[in-house]
Structure 1
Amino acid sequence: MRLNAAMQKIHERAPKLGKAMSLATASGVIAANSFGGSIPLWLMGVSKIITGAPIADKTVIKIADHWISSNNALIDTILPRKDWRINLPDDVRMDGKYLLVSNHQSWVDTSIVQYISEKRLPLTRFFTKFELIYIPIVGQAFYFLDFPMMRRHSKEAVAKNPALKGKDIEEAKRACALLKDKPFTLLNYLEGTRFTQEKHAKQNSPYKHLLKPRAGGLSLAINALGADIDGILDMTIVYPDGVPSYGDLWKGNIKRLGVDVRYIDIPKDLFVGIQNGGYENDDAIKAQMFDWVEQIWQQKDQRITKMLAEFDEREAAQTSNT
């Protein structure tokens, strides 16, 4: 608490110094935790792969939770006062199994997911490229933590070797299956990439704040994990002061943030159809899935407009009272 109070005073009296100190502190702590945790993570991760021991798996997750908790403590301690409005359902559980969909604007999004999830949702995982496994520390952490790592084959590679067709889907399903016996939050950014105005214009997107959604990743997760999930969650993130960089987070530049998480219902016949492989083999089910995803995105687009307006209304009210 003393550190937090001291940092608040610095941010108020010398903003430039406060930003520099916050960024330097965060960089040092995150680097130290990453390198310090890499050795036990490697030891437990290798033990998990060789022996399959549940204790090794649980220890790997505890190391990841500690890393996330340390980062979150930095957010609460060294950043200036902020207006972060976060809404989650009351009945989400640490031992639950959830699919989470979200809009995507910045590298900061994943840190925000980790921040809001601590002690409320299971460890968040997301689909990654298998090639990331060769990145020191980070890639191996993804592998040991059972992030679904996908090998994607280009059209050219499939043309040369037809046996590769469908292999990426099989691999993704196998990777998802590793989560079946443990709590999880599997995150899917349905837009497939970060939002930019250039991408928005190029797509001719029908949404004001969003790119066009994709249904393949979510369908794959439902197919692989459908019988085990406790619900599908929809997360909406807004940055009223503009899309931040990762450095902006640790400088304390994200003064205003809105996060809304809620359950979304999927028609039972559609869910069962996808679970039984219909998205890949039945054009009617695939079309129904696209229609449902577009409805979710229309609602999200309207929600973003409302959330941004609420920030503007509060700011206007505060200005008029000063």
Structure 2
Amino acid sequence: MLRLRAAITLPVSIMLAILVTVLCALPIILAGIFKLLLPLKPVSERISRFCDAMMYCWCEGLAVLLHLNPRLKWDVQGLDELNRNNWYLLTANHHSWADIVVLCVLFRNHLPMNKYFLKQQLAWVPFIGLACWALDMPFMRRYSRSYLSTHPERRAQDIETARRSCEKFRSRPTTIVNFVEGTRFTPEKHVRLRSPWRHLLPPKAAGIAMALSVLGLQFDKLVNVTLCYPQNDATPFLDMLCGRLTRVVVRIQLIPVDESLRGDYQNDASFRHNFQCWLNRLWHEKDVQLEKIKTEYKKAGH
């Protein structure tokens, strides 16, 4: 019976996701083209608000998608202190494509609209790439350390991309989302990158440091989010599409943005070292938290 339901739910979920994405992306793309052709600040701000409203509609569509998981239960802590009228920088571990759906649905009524730091490859995804461009989301190129050692100018280009995008968010409350691991967690990547943590990949500090440098005085808090799918750890996105997702655990920690987190990451070696140490400590605490969540659910027999 469960297999039959999954076989029916999967195509329905895929069609719903595509339909919602196309219906919301097309107006955003057209508005983005109009903004490009008429680059006047009052016009751009109105168009940006319209695009954010359409993205909110997309989030509502994703909420419908989650309703196709009848046994889904949420375990969320730390949601109450958020405010849609403030600026936030949100960082989270990245386990699955399901993470984006969870963040959009969970925070749609609690935070200003999310703006993601995206991998350059997503720019070529039909509808999604152009829509994200129209929403002013920065596309980041992910280079290996060996490549950057021989082409250091590429690092500066990524940082400049982040800086320009962050400047656009000064005029309206925004949540900037950065998956600092740069890619989704897999056991293969965990081994290849020699991660010192059990459940996480090494974080990359440059993008989040640039956002804090440009908009640090406007950020109300840094939102540190830990995501876990204790009953669907292997394939949470596929399970979501098949209606088999049963538990989403979210832990939210608000961190003050003080002077120690703002500085010249690119040119100040001392600040860069201290910032990387701070981020690594944050990641260590997140890894301990993930281990605790998984152990508790395993002991409870869920």
- TM-score of the superposition, structure 1-length normalised? 0.82
Give 1:314 deviation, angstroms: 3.1
Number of residue pairs matched? Answer: 296
1:60 aligns with 2:51: yes
Give the letter aligned to residue 85 of structure 1. Answer: D
Give 1:105 deviation, angstroms: 1.3
Aligned to 1:148: 138
1:263 aligns with 2:250: no
CA offsets 1:197-225 (integer angstroms, 9 cap, x no match): 22223333222222222211211111121
Aligned to 1:6: none
Aligned to 1:183: 173
Deviating runs (4+, > 6 A) in structure 1? 152-160, 162-165
Give 1:140 deviation, angstroms: 0.9
Q: Structure 1: 5+ residue runs without aligned partners?
A: 1-13, 317-322
Aligned to 1:18: 5
Larger radius of gyration: 1
Aligned to 1:294: 280
1:172 aligns with 2:172: no
CA offsets 1:50-79 (integer angstroms, 9 cap, x no match): 334133222211111111101112212x21
Contact 2:223–2:253 (8 Å) recurs in 1 = yes
Of the three residues 217, 220, 224, the one matched with 1:227 is 217
**Distance in 2 separating the partners of 1:171 and 1:39:** 25
Identical-residue share of aligned pairs (%): 28
Secondary structure in structure 2 of the residue aligned to 1:234: strand
Cα 1:30/1:89, change in 2 over 3 Å? closer
**Distance in 2 separating the partners of 1:255 and 1:185:** 27
**Distance in 2 separating the partners of 1:38 and 1:193:** 24
Aligned to 1:117: 107
Give the letter aligned to residue 180 of structure 2. Answer: L
Give 1:159 deviation, angstroms: 7.1
Contact 1:149–1:175 (8 Å) recurs in 2 = no
Cα 1:248/1:215, change in 2 over 3 Å? same
Aligned to 1:243: 234
By percentage of residues, which structure has more helix?
A: 1
Contact 1:123–1:184 (8 Å) recurs in 2 = yes
Cα 1:172/1:35, change in 2 over 3 Å? same
**Distance in 1 separating the partners of 2:134 and 2:30:** 10
CA RMSD of superposed structures (Å) = 2.6
Q: Which moved more, 1:96-105 or 1:235-244?
A: 235-244
1:214 aligns with 2:209: no
Contact 1:244–1:254 (8 Å) recurs in 2 = no
- TM-score of the superposition, structure 2-length normalised? 0.88
**Distance in 2 separating the partners of 1:126 and 1:26:** 23
1:41 aligns with 2:31: no
Q: Which moved more, 1:244-253 or 1:150-159?
A: 150-159
